[in-house]
Amino acid sequence: MIVPLSWLKEYVDITLTPKELGEKLTEVGLGCEKIIKTKDDVIFELEITPNRPDCLSIIGVAREIAAIENKKIKFPQLPNILKTQKPLPLIVKTDSKINPRFTGIIISGIKVGESPKWLKEKLEKMNQRPINNIVDITNYVMLELGNPIHAFDYDKIIGNIMTVSQTKGGEKFESVDGIAYRLPKDAVVISDKEKIIDLCGIKGGKNSGTYKETKTIFIRVPVEIPNLIRKSSQALGLRSDASSIFERGVNAGGTIDALKRTTDLVLELAGGKIASNPYDLKEINFKPWKLKLRKDRLNQILGINIPLKKTIDILESLNLSPVHLPGEQRRHLDDARKGGRIECTIPTYRNDLKIEEDLIEEVARIYGYNNFPKTMPKGVIPTVQVPYFKDYALDEKVKNILKASGFSEIYTYSLIGDKDLTENNIDPEKILRVDNPVSRDFEYLRPTLKINLLKAFIQNKSNFEKINLFELGKVYSGKSLDEAKEIYYLSGITNNKNFFEVKGLLEKIFEDLGIKENSTKYIEILNDGIFFEINYSELIKDFNPNKTFKPLPKYPPIVEDLSIITEGDVKTSDLISEIKNQSPLVVDVSLLDQFKNSKTFHIVYQDKNKNLTGEGVAEIREKILKSLQSKFHAELNN
């Protein structure tokens, strides 16, 4: 919303400097994004939240400033609408379910022409293009008061009839700016005897607009159903100033004021005379409503005691007509009633004020969020484990092992393109997909971390010789949403470590997590590196945080290296387990060295109950050699 300071000043005295005003407006909820100084004015650009359609008008912003400055607002002078003895004929058929209020009047004998300078300048400051005096007045009053208004050329309404109805879908409509549309189903439109003349709440029709030759106009100030406007506007991809107001909820009690203001200006700037009694078709009276605020509840939610007088002043400055009903002092009543209630009367332009908490916000924001003290929650700290608990300390532990091993961590997008999939021989048909992707490159949910890691690997090749990368992140499995699962994967890629180093790294991770798992199956040997990918969510289910201290051995071990020559294809792991199996006194076996078919094992013998003797070890060694020979035809290498 663009707001010129000069226009605001017509309704409220402003003492704050533009910079201070901008800051205060932001604090109360009208986010001031820019302050532009022009040669004769200051323009504020405000971000209006969806709950405040009233602030899509100058008067709405002026009201907020009046509350900030604690001043009264000067509402424009409105005439009483004159009735006429000789009304022109016009039948209006409407339905409050699709058009809750239809306010309007006919003015005849007008002269369409250029707007006066002051009006054109005002519109231009608001980035609006002046068109002619009638259209400009309707735009002006909408910007001023926040009620959208449309002027029809009365003489083009065939049959003197206006019928509000919903479309069946597919109807042709040409907007006042000359663009042709096919209307969606359920759009609210006005038709005359022959054709659609208005797309309600969004755009007027070209066939009934106000042009040079127009002599008689019908001014319509409606209330529309937000959802219906929203749906049509979205379906057509067509938004207007009017539709943004109607979508969010127009001031339903403001149509008569807007009609008076418009009529007054038309008579002044375009001449003519009132040619109908005012129309105001509605089923309910759009009256202000009552809302109560318990003073004790206010204190309780805010955490401070704003004095009663200050509270009343704030509500008064917001035009909410507060009336304090003192609390009952009888002892048995609970605390909540002691401070009494403040009954407010909510003006129809404040559709956002519906519950007590809304009033609490009103008091708090005008009091000023930055004037509040800061406290910490007082209650008990929860000790029961929260649902959906995640142990980030475990992630940190794993990541630190990878980091210590030289791997750097990356974060990549979960969304990938179909090309990414097909290049990696994955059928996109079997991958979860977004219906409305931001681009083809980000259409599918990744089923693996490999694709992004490979890309990262290639990207870094131009700058680095040695690359070690990993990611711990979600992958998304399931061919359709019914089977969709989000699983954490831990994956890495390296061209700087060999298979055994990666294997050892994974073994170290498993060991630290207390998990018994074979790491080989997670490792893939690529053309130019090693890749690993682990289903991390699955893996950490076996996480065992318990570590038990084992007392240090009282008796020294005997250590020896045995070189073995094997024949044919013998697996090292088989040899190691065979050696271990020969005696419980063999406490550790590791591969020290290998060359061709010779392998040297480092063997630790230890008895926790007594000193081992050379003879005892020789006995075990014999057993080992014997079994290795019989099972693997392995011989001692002398």
Partner 1 sequence: MEEELMQIKNSAVSMIIDASDQKELEEIKLQFLGRSGKLTLTLKEITKIPAEKRAIVGQLANEVKRVIEESIESKLSSLISYFSSQRKQNIDVTAPGIKPGIGHLHPMTQVLHDVIDIFKGIGFQVADGPEIETDYYNFTALNMPPNAPSRDTQATLYLDTKNSNAQPGQILLRTQTSNMQVRTMEKIKPPVRVIVPGKVYRVDDVDASHGFEFWQLEGFCIDKNVRLTDLFGTIDYVLKKVYGEKTKIKFATTNFGFVEPGVDTYMECTVCKGKGCNFCKQSGWSEIMPAGMVHPNVLKAAGYDSQKVSGFAFCIGLSRLVTLRYQMDDLRLLTNPDLRILEQF
65 or 360: CB nearest partner 1: 360
CB of 200 to partner 1, least distance (A): 17
Interacting residues with partner 1 between 164 and 183 (CB under 8 A): none
| Alpha-carbon separation of residue 9 from 6, 27, 41, 63, 391 (angstroms) | 5, 20, 11, 11, 57
Residue 304 binds partner 1, judged by CB under 8 A = yes
CB of 174 to partner 1, least distance (A): 27
Interacting positions 392-411 with partner 1 (CB under 8 A) = 392, 396, 399-400, 402-411
Amino acid at 3: V
In this chain, which of 135, 467, 509, 513 binds partner 1, going by CB under 8 A?
467
Per CB under 8 A, which region of 6-14, 107-115, 285-293, 377-385 contacts partner 1?
377-385
Q: Are 90 and 158 in contact (CB under 8 A)?
A: no
Q: Between 373 and 556, whose beta carbon lies closer to partner 1?
A: 373
The nearer residue to partner 1, 3 or 162, going by C-beta atoms, is: 3
Q: Return all residues near 484 (Cβ < 8 A) that are at least 6 apart.
A: 432, 476, 477, 478
- Scanning 103-111, 361-369, 513-521, 553-561 for contacts with partner 1 by CB under 8 A, the matching segment is 361-369
Using CA atoms, how far apart are residues 17 and 421, in angstroms rounded to an integer?
Answer: 58
Does position 334 interact with partner 1 (CB under 8 A)? The reply is no
Q: How far is the CB of 227 from partner 1 (least distance, A)?
A: 5
Is residue 479 close enough to count as binding partner 1 by CB under 8 A? yes
For partner 1, which residue of 357, 511, 560, 574 counts as binding (CB under 8 A)? 357
CA distance 495 to 467: 6
Nearer Cβ to partner 1, position 337 or 623?
Answer: 337
Nearest residue (CB) to partner 1, 358 versus 517:
358
Chain residues 436-455 in contact with partner 1, contact rule CB under 8 A:
436-438, 442, 445, 452, 455
Q: Which stretch binds partner 1 (CB under 8 A): 309-317, 378-386, 417-425, 509-517?
A: 378-386
- Closest C-alpha among 303, 347, 475 to residue 63: 347
Choose between 80 and 480: whose C-beta lies nearer to partner 1.
480
Name the packing angle between helices 356-367 and 18-28 (round to 10°). Answer: 160
Distance, in Å, from the CA atom of 105 to the CA atom of 285, rounded to the nearest integer, reads 19
* Binding of residue 389 to partner 1 (CB under 8 A): yes
Q: How far is the CB of 529 from partner 1 (least distance, A)?
A: 15
Nearer to partner 1, 216 or 311 (CB): 311
Q: Which of 178, 237, 307, 377 binds partner 1 (CB under 8 A)?
A: 377
Site for partner 1 in 572-601 (CB under 8 A): none
- Cα angle value 418/420/421 (rounded, 5°): 65
Instruction: Return the structure tokens found at 42.
Output: 């200051």
By CB under 8 A, name the one of 337, 433, 580, 602 that touches partner 1.
433
Which of 82-90, 417-425, 461-469, 618-626 is the region at the interface with partner 1 (rule: CB under 8 A)?
461-469
Residues in region 4-63 near partner 1 by CB under 8 A? 26-29, 31, 33-34, 49-52
Please state, in angstroms and rounded to a whole number, the distance separating the CA atoms of residues 33 and 46: 6
DSSP 478-490: -SSGGG-EEEEEE
Which of 87, 89, 113, 303 binds partner 1 (CB under 8 A)? It is: 303
With CA atoms as reference, report the closest residue to 543 among 513, 570, 501.
513
Query: What secondary structure does DSSP assign to 13-76, as a single string?
Result: ---S-HHHHHHHHHHHT-EEEEEEE-SS-EEEEEE--TT-GGGSSHHHHHHHHHHHHT----PP
> Is residue 464 close enough to count as binding partner 1 by CB under 8 A?
yes
Q: Are 90 and 219 in contact (CB under 8 A)?
A: no
Within 227-256, the residues that bind partner 1 by CB under 8 A are: 227, 230-231, 247-248
Question: What is the C-alpha to C-alpha distance for residues 15 and 312, in angstroms, rounded to an integer?
Answer: 23
Is residue 498 a contact point for partner 1 (CB under 8 A)?
Answer: no
DSSP string over 182-219: EPPTT-EEEE-SSSEEEETTTEEBGGG---TT---EEE
Among 72, 87, 325, 372, binds partner 1 (CB under 8 A): 372
